[in-house]
Structure 1
């Protein structure tokens, strides 16, 4: 009865309007002034060289990267929460981001800091590191005869995240100042990869994996049930869980490989979407994607629109919102 009262289409329309508004604000705000009324003329080639450069080379690729990353993190968090049946699961909180970060740090030092030339390889590097980390977290979270333990998964993930973040700092302890600055920016979620090559590097992962997950919405609905129910409905649990976790890791790793460490989006977006659209995945997944993109675009815009020329990385702005929400969920359940 409760589910019938949800209005996913209505909320999808409302969130779409909010998201478009956030995009307009993001494109028209910042140090290089460009008013809202100049956006359409510049988009259609009627702007000055300076306006065209600011819009097409600085702001549009950044907004595109943030939007794709927000969608990827929202879907990744949804998959992790469904497969593990842990409402606190998030790729950042349980250590997947840190696994990707460790791999990218090693690759960064090996590549001599010339990452733009390796933009298309970065998501794959992050995926390899994140998948290895997820495998270890899964192994240490298992209990014989009972499967994955939600609380243990959270604690093991936090432990891995702390250890890997420390390992990243050890790796760069004797590195050049430029290398240290890059890792510090990555850990802060500064959206460092905000150029068109990084957009095209992230786009295939989102364009291929997100529609596939939506196509398998009914399978996710079954996975959210108890294990006996899922088995009774013909789902091959081990194989399906492995596939879904691999996709969750791939999406999270691809996102953070170009944005840096951004946690809590994968935690908040599914919760907000379920509250608005109900528990069925085919209904709340589109809403979760919009919420994830809106959260990240909004956080980045806020971080770049502070007075006195201050700039706060998007990852920190999201954390300021997400950490209290995480504590609220802990207290609630």
Structure 2
């Protein structure tokens, strides 16, 4: 009887997960369509369909294919990448508040990108493909520093110590970034200030091509490591008892999470809270098993970022609000709610 009830429970959970994935997919498609028609120049549904099939004017094709579609695709990739990065960090640290933004990974990646932009024109073609690599270097050094400071021999990684160390390192890097901006010319300072606010500045297909390989390689890799994440979430002692190579798996997954966060930050700026909200909402919808939690987190993060970007372009037309600010308006109260819940 127990086996039958377990099978029924698993079937119900699987059906629920498929339903959640389907609903999230439909919502993303709806927001995708709305986003294509959001901007200073409106495209009616009829014109939108005509332009998609190559029957629009040259101006309409330029607006849709060269300005809006690359930005929409990048929003989806960034949301999925940051959400999975946050999900992995929460799993390996057993810390519900872990997030690449809160832990300082985004700040480290951003500092390296800002240093590069300060000395080279941001519009140059070749450096676009180097930005994710440079961001990875900055994020990797930051992650190494945080991991080293938070790790204690015989005790491993304490969730509280990891969070506090990450916040302290992020504050230090942010201060260094602000000091460095004082050396910039007015044009570059304006660009960096907008970038730090979380503006999706990479809005051409070359930025999509720069980001896409990182997402296509690292996201499936992390999903294949879902079983290892499940074991690590149980705690170091129990994971070792089950035969897992804890430190090796943790470092591999941490490297993948850092790579995802860094590549996304390279083209999105300082967008925070996506890696916090995506996994939390996913966990409420499908439970803690990472086989389904990772895909649901990815879709939730993608939906959050594309919605925030669409709202940012719509609220104050013809001006726009950086996507990071819109996400922060949603994420900051949610973060405070999680802190209050954690204390209780």
TM-score range, shorter chain: over 0.9
Match for residue 246 of structure 1? 255
Partner of 2:3: none
How far residue 35 of structure 1 moved from its aligned partner, in angstroms, is: 1.6
Give the match's secondary structure for 1:121: helix
What is the match of residue 182 of structure 1?
191
- Under a length normalisation based on structure 2, what TM-score does the superposition of the two structures give? 0.93
Does residue 57 of structure 2 align to residue 48 of structure 1? yes
Matches of 2:308 and 2:180, distance apart in 1? 30
Q: 1:304 aligns with which of 313, 327, 337?
A: 313
1:231, CA displacement in angstroms?
A: 1.3
Q: In structure 1, how many angstroms separate the alpha carbons of the residues matched to 2:136 and 2:250? A: 17
Aligned residues: 333
* 2:78 corresponding residue in structure 1: 69
Over aligned residues, Cα RMSD in angstroms? 1.5
Q: Structure 2, unaligned stretches of length 5 or more?
A: 1-5
Give the 5 Å matches for 1:167-178. 167-178=176-187
* Aligned counterpart, 1:32: 41
Question: Equivalences for 1:216-295 in 2 at 5 Å?
Answer: 216-295=225-304
Partner Cα separation in structure 1 for residue 161 and residue 241 of structure 2:
27
Deviations 1:31-65 (A, max 9, x none): 01112232222111011111100000000000011
Equivalent pair of 2:71/2:204 in contact (CA under 8 Å): yes
1:107-158 deviation per Cα after TM superposition (whole angstroms, max 9, x unaligned): 1123244454311110000000000001101111123321112112112111
> Which 10-residue stretch deviates more, 302-311 or 83-92?
302-311
> What is the distance in 2 between the residues matched to 1:66 and 1:116?
21
For 2:125 and 2:168, the matched residues in 1 are separated by: 31
1:200 to 189, 209, 215: 209
In structure 2, how many angstroms separate the alpha carbons of the residues matched to 1:175 and 1:229?
51
- The partner residue of 2:165 within 152, 156, 161 is 156
Provide, for residues 5-44 of structure 1, a one-character-per-residue CA deviation record: whole Å limited to 9, x for no partner. Answer: 6411111111111010010010011101112232222111
Shift of 1:174: 2.2
> So what's the TM-score if we normalise by structure 1?
0.96
Structure 1 stretches lacking a partner, 5+ long: none
- Higher alpha-carbon deviation: 2-11 or 44-53: 2-11
For residues 155 and 219 of structure 1, the distance between their equivalents in structure 2, rounded to whole angstroms, comes to 25
